[in-house]
Amino acid sequence: MRLFNCRKIKDRATGLKSAARAVGGGRLVVIPTDTVYGIGCDAFNHTAVRALLTAKGRGRDMAPPVLIGSKRALDGIASDIPDSAKELIEAFWPGPLTVVVHYSPSLAWDLGDTDGTVAVRMPLHPLALELLKETGPMAVSSANKHGQPPAESAADAKSQLGSDVSVYLEAGPSEDNLPSTIVDCVAHPPQVLREGALTLEQIRKIVPDTLDRDGYGPGERPEEQEADDEAADAEGTDEKQDEGTPA
């Protein structure tokens, strides 16, 4: 178990090499991202994915997302990518957007109970991207025990995960301690499953019919309809008053 201070040039290079070797050897690493620190492994190594879930205290029903190092890499793991996903990816990748899509049935991986889908993200962090280009797709979840706050640094993650992780890459405190926003693009229309660093309003600017977490479309929430009714009543009252006012 080693922690590398990647804010130092020498440690950065050594840390990246050590992390790449660890991932290739089926071990766990902690890496910085543009949202929160993540614990990750080779997405195609079944044993490593199970170790990741065990380290976090999660079961197969909480499958980890997959991080990739380029937009092109999505074509290698996903099938029948919906237009909604393509539009959101064009707008927000690399960045704090995770899209749920169908994965290619030819892939030999086992992320958990996903019903043929995978949550994918391309992070906006140079260290993470550099590692991903060396390792290929990684299964990555927030670097904390299940139910605990996300780690804000590699040192924070180490205090929670300890020797379960082989390599920790420290890049300083998280700039934005909000998780990514998750959008289920398999659903029709797409639905926000978790609102994080990107707001529902930002998502709807790209895909207007996106449902919120409760399954409501734009203007469909009861409180929104009540507000619209009140506004309509107020407008009607104003019109009546105007009609009764002498010229």
Phi, psi of 237 (to 5 degrees): -65, -40
142 marked ligand binding residue:
yes
203 and 183 in contact (C-beta within 8 Å)? yes
12 marked ligand binding residue:
no
- Cα separations in angstroms, 213 against 53, 175, 183: 25, 26, 9
213 marked ligand binding residue:
no
Kind and range of the H or E element at 43?
none
98 marked ligand binding residue:
no
Q: How far apart are CA 156 and CA 86, in angstroms?
A: 35
72 marked ligand binding residue:
no
Neighbouring C-beta atoms of residue 15, cutoff 10 Å: 26
Structure-token pair, residue 168: 């920790």
117 marked ligand binding residue:
yes
> DSSP assignment, residue 163?
G
180 marked ligand binding residue:
yes
26 and 48 in contact (C-beta within 8 Å)? yes
Alpha-carbon Rg for the chain in angstroms: 22
Q: How far apart are CA 126 and CA 33, in angstroms?
A: 8
What burial class does residue 65 get, using C-beta atoms within 10 Å of its C-beta: 0-12 exposed, 13-18 middle, 19+ buried?
Answer: buried
Q: How far apart are CA 176 and CA 34, in angstroms?
A: 7
Binding site members for L-threonine: 35, 121, 142, 180
Binding site members: 35, 58, 117, 121, 142, 180, 194
Binding site members for ATP: 58, 117, 194
